[in-house]
Homo-oligomer: A and B are copies of this chain.
């Protein structure tokens, strides 16, 4: 399977919607960065500035009833699935009206009603879960798809291997979307992985694998559209390696000193939002409209944060709820 950049141009409304979605994620993550940097929130957070096109391109190519799992670096994926900004902030702030009532936190944003089935904090932990989600879809005779986001470093953990193998033997409708941001924590991929192109690992599972430009939201959209069609047709899973870049450090504590000079700058020049705005402008979208979309997203995020900050903390008794059904 090869990447599908040559597919028919996407309806411009969808393209503009994807721009809005990417802005929203960017502003959300920038706000999180401030919240944690200022010490307003304890614990840690893992931000995805620079990777927005992967989540947005993929999830806008799928249906609302498709099911998504992701990692601790999952704010972008969760928001791209249509989850409310304020309840997402609320969870990170540990508020009673946060998505999980404050029990989950930044690494576990979940909104099952929106098909955001969970953010998992153990590397590899959700890959087999995504296989089960796909199994259930087929068992129940729906044509829903399971999409699973994970990082480059996660391809070295055992659960990755077992999950892709089983998904392939059972020809399940799962899209394994690897966000290759070049690092696992502080380690560049080549120090932990003996091959360059992770998509090549798909061959070990008799599964198509494709590496694409994860900063090109249209290429992501086209690739996922094709893989989804394949999956819905019962032809099984696909491994998609989306090349992208983590513009911030791994987590709150990480200044990312380990980056080679110029690397960040080069990737900032290929910022997915900038690229998409440029493409839209080239398609004749007026700068005013682009700016308006950006401003609206910024406002929406600010207002959502203010709302969430105004919410109350959970009552201590609630900690005893939800252990059992």
Complex Cα spacing A260 to B191, Å: 46
Given A195-B206, A204-B195, are A165 and B156 neighbors across the interface (CB < 8 Å)?
yes
Q: What is the total number of residues of chain A having a CB less than 8 Å from a CB of chain B?
A: 22
Q: Is A193 an interface residue (CB 8 A)?
A: yes
Q: How far is the CB of A195 from chain B (nearest CB, A)?
A: 5
In the assembled complex, A226 has its CB within 8 A of some CB on chain B:
no
In the complex, what residue of chain B is closest to A191 when comparing beta carbons? B169
Report the Cα distance A205→B161, complex, angstroms: 12
CB within 8 Å of B: which A158-173 residues: 158-162, 165, 168-169
Residues of B within 8 A of A160 (CB): 161
List the B side residues contacting A195 at CB < 8 Å. Answer: 203-206
- A120 and B204 CA atoms in complex are apart in Å by 25
Q: How far is the CB of A210 from the nearest CB of chain B, in Å? A: 16
Contact of A193 among B157, B169, B203 (CB under 8 A): B169
Output the residue of A156, A165, A168, A203 with the most chain B CB within 10 A: A165
- Cα A200 to Cα B205 in complex, Å, equals 10
Instruction: List, in ascending order, chain B residues with CB within 8 A of A191's CB.
Output: 169
Cβ B205 vs Cβ A194 within 8 A? yes
Residues 180-199 of A at the B interface (beta carbon under 8 Å): 191-195
How many Å lie between the Cα of A319 and that of B200 in the bound state?
50
Interface: A79 (CB within 8 A): no
Which of A191, A195, A204, A207 lies at the interface centre, i.e. has the most chain B CB atoms within 10 A of its CB?
A204
The CB with the most chain B CB atoms within 10 A, among A157, A161, A193, A205, is that of A161
In the complex, A156→B168 CA distance in Å?
Answer: 12
With CB as the reference atom, state the residue of chain B lying closest to A166: B156
A203 contacts B200, C-beta separation under 8 Å:
yes
Contacts of A158 in B (CB 8 A): 157-159, 161-162
User: Does any Cβ of B come within 8 Å of A201's Cβ?
Assistant: yes
Complex CA gap A205/B201 in Å reads: 8
- 25 A-B pairs with C-beta separation under 8 A: A156-B161, A156-B165, A157-B158, A157-B161, A157-B162, A158-B158, A158-B159, A158-B162, A161-B161, A165-B193, A165-B194, A168-B194, A169-B191, A169-B192, A169-B193, A169-B194, A194-B206, A194-B207, A195-B203, A195-B204, A195-B205, A200-B203, A200-B204, A201-B204, A203-B204
Which 3 A-B residue pairings sit nearest by Cβ, starting from the closest? A158-B158, A161-B161, A194-B206
Q: Supply 5 further A-B pairs (C-beta < 8 A) apart from A157-B161, A200-B203, A204-B204.
A: A158-B158, A158-B161, A165-B193, A169-B194, A201-B204
